[in-house]
């Protein structure tokens, strides 16, 4: 009897993963996944980021007596030079900071709004009704630089010039490009080589820098020097803001100086949920951190440890919980200044329990409707975590949205403009609809874990819609399966793709489920039998960094996973 085409494809797919899975399983000792490297431990401070030289920049600041916030600004500025694919002054920023003096968490939302001159009727939609991703219609006011100023003003110690000095030095002298960043840079170079200003900034000698090649950015060095010298006025009405507005006018954008003059980053109260004795803290909408909290509330109703890491039940429940949380994400998440978001209802444990009951353990859901709490895609991002000698910690994420953002770059400033506005909906009935001065739905989310009210871990998982899925999996790995900080990030992950986006159409086919090598072939076969559409999503599993403090000993621990070029460094 001949196999059907679907059965043949499944056999081929499972077979391709089987060898990698067997090799990964051979590295297991005493039931734990063998990590790609050891956890890094230190007494006084710790920095984890997506580039070793950026982590060194943060350590340099900590050794000079800088705070965790000082080091976070230094690391992010260095990453703007070293990892421009993922981040830079032309993007947005979010952070959660533990202030040891106050003994409390602080949240920072440094995401910028749509230009006041941009209205829905001015946007020529794509065929699917969305905002063109690589276009001036996707530009929103970049908030990263405002975020740096806010962190420094509220929690910093050293002069801003000292914090930006390592990045300025790297931009002037150049730094070698590592493997993962070089690969992403090459892809971006092919896509954006003809975009205004891109080649002048990011393609020396007409091509992307190769692995190990030095890349310098003198224009960005000058921009950072201007920030250090002039402070906030430079980006509100000074030379940097004026340069962005001039560039916008020349290339079909809608920015006016007033958009920059009136924009400020905002300090917000983090939202949280408990999960088996620990508390996960996220930032409220317009970000998607709420989805990670919803996932954990649903997962808490299941005995995940009893299921075991190598069971189809575990991966099935993880994927189905994600579908439920993302249905609510698509329906409710927006800028709360324009549209009320039912955060308390969505976080209610009773609501989660009711949603959990809809999960069919024998069959993958093909369609998922949002709940009623009243009744109770690929993204390129960088993440960093810092802990200083005084117990202050920062969890910070910063992004261009997609790789190199919109692809438009400003040669005189040395950075590109992000494309976060593409996350707006053009549907006038949707909570996340485009409106002048409104912040779009955001995918980038920092995370923070506490235990018994004390700071424990600052962590993040990069990568668009992967992020809340990754956050939930990291917590499950740490809490349910007792993994150490490095193992929790290196362990195989799932990513489910195809849930309704805040700009798209509802899921009708169950979406697609991707699992990394290390998940046994028999589990893949069982998941397919339950109706999951298995697929390969290379490069979609995110990148994880984490820093923790042991409350008993005060020892700092750091981890940086193998999917990125990064490093955790302590002192």
DSSP run (H or E) holding 459: strand 454-461
CB 378 within 8 A of CB 402: yes
Q: What is the DSSP string of 278-342?
A: EEEEEPPTTSSHHHHHHHHHHHTTS-HHHH-TT-HHHHHHHHHHHHHHHHHHHHH-S-TTTS---
**Strand 271-275, strand 278-282: pairing:** antiparallel
How many other C-beta atoms lie within 10 A of the C-beta of residue 552? Answer: 7
Distances (CA, A) of 140 to 70, 79, 231, 238, 366: 26, 21, 21, 18, 34
Among residues 130, 140, 273, 381, which one is catalytic? 381
- What distance in Å separates the CA atoms of residue 50 and residue 83, rounded to the nearest whole number? 8
Residue of 379, 381, 380, 383 whose CA lies nearest to 546: 383
Please state the separation of Cα 558 from the chain's center in Å: 18
Instruction: Tell me whether residue 466 is one of the annotated catalytic residues.
Output: no
Name 228's Cβ contacts closer than 8 Å, sequence gap at least 6: 160, 161, 164, 165, 168
Beta strands in 69-178 (DSSP E): 92-99, 104-110, 175-176
Residue 205 CA neighbour count, 13 Å, CB half: 7
**Among all residues, which ones are annotated catalytic?**
381
């Amino acid at each position: 009897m001949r196999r059907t085409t679907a059965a043949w494809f499944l056999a081929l797919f499972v077979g391709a993963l089987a060898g990698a899975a067997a090799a990964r399983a051979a590295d297991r000792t005493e039931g734990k996944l063998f990590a790609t490297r050891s956890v890094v431990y230190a007494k006084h401070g710790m920095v984890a980021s997506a580039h070793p030289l950026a982590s060194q920049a943060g350590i340099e600041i900590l050794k000079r007596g800088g705070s965790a916030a000082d080091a976070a600004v230094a690391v992010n500025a260095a990453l703007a030079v070293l990892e421009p694919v993922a981040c830079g002054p032309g993007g947005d920023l979010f952070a959660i900071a533990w202030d040891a003096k106050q003994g409390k968490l602080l949240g920072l939302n440094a995401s910028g709004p749509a230009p006041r001159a941009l209205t829905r009727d001015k946007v020529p939609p794509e065929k699917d009704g969305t905002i063109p991703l690589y276009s001036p219609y996707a530009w929103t006011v970049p908030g990263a630089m405002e975020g740096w100023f806010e962190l420094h003003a509220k929690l910093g110690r050293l002069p801003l010039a000292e914090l930006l000095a390592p990045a300025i030095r790297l931009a002037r002298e150049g730094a070698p490009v590592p493997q993962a960043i070089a690969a992403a840079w090459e892809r971006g170079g092919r896509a954006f080589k003809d975009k205004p200003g891109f080649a002048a900034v990011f393609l020396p000698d007409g091509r992307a820098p190769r692995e190990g090649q030095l890349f310098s950015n003198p224009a960005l060095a000058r921009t950072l020097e201007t920030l250090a010298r002039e402070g906030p006025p430079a980006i509100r009405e000074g030379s940097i803001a004026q340069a962005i507005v001039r560039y916008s006018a020349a290339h079909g954008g809608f920015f006016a100086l007033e958009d920059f003059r009136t924009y400020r980053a905002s300090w917000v109260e983090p939202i949280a949920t408990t999960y088996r004795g620990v508390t996960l803290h996220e930032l409220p909408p317009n970000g998607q951190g709420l989805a990670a909290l919803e996932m954990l509330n649903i997962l808490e109703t299941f005995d995940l440890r009893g299921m075991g890491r190598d069971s189809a039940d575990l991966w099935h429940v993880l994927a189905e919980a994600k579908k439920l949380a993302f249905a609510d994400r698509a329906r409710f998440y927006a800028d709360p200044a324009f549209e009320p978001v039912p955060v308390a209802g969505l976080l209610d444990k009773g609501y989660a329990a009711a949603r959990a009951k809809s999960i069919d353990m024998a069959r993958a859901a093909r369609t998922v409707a949002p709940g009623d709490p009243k009744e109770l895609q690929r993204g390129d991002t960088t993440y960093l975590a810092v802990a200083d000698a005084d117990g202050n910690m920062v969890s910070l994420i910063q992004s261009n949205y997609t790789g190199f953002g919109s692809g438009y770059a400003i040669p005189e400033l040395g950075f590109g403009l992000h494309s976060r506005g593409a996350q707006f909906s053009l549907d006038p009935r949707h909570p996340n609809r485009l409106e002048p001065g409104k912040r779009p739905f955001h995918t980038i989310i920092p995370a923070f874990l506490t235990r018994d009210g004390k700071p424990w871990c600052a962590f993040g998982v990069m990568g668009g819609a992967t992020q809340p899925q990754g956050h939930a999996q990291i917590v499950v790995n740490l809490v349910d399966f007792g993994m150490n900080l490095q193992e929790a990030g290196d362990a195989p992950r799932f990513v489910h793709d195809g849930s309704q986006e805040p700009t798209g159409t509802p899921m009708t086919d169950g979406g697609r489920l991707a699992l990394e090598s290390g998940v046994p072939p028999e589990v893949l076969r069982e998941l397919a039998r339950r109706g999951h559409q298995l697929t390969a999503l290379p490069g979609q599993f995110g990148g994880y960094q984490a820093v923790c403090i042991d409350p008993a000993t005060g020892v700092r621990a750091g981890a940086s996973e193998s999917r990125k070029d990064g490093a955790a460094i302590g002192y």
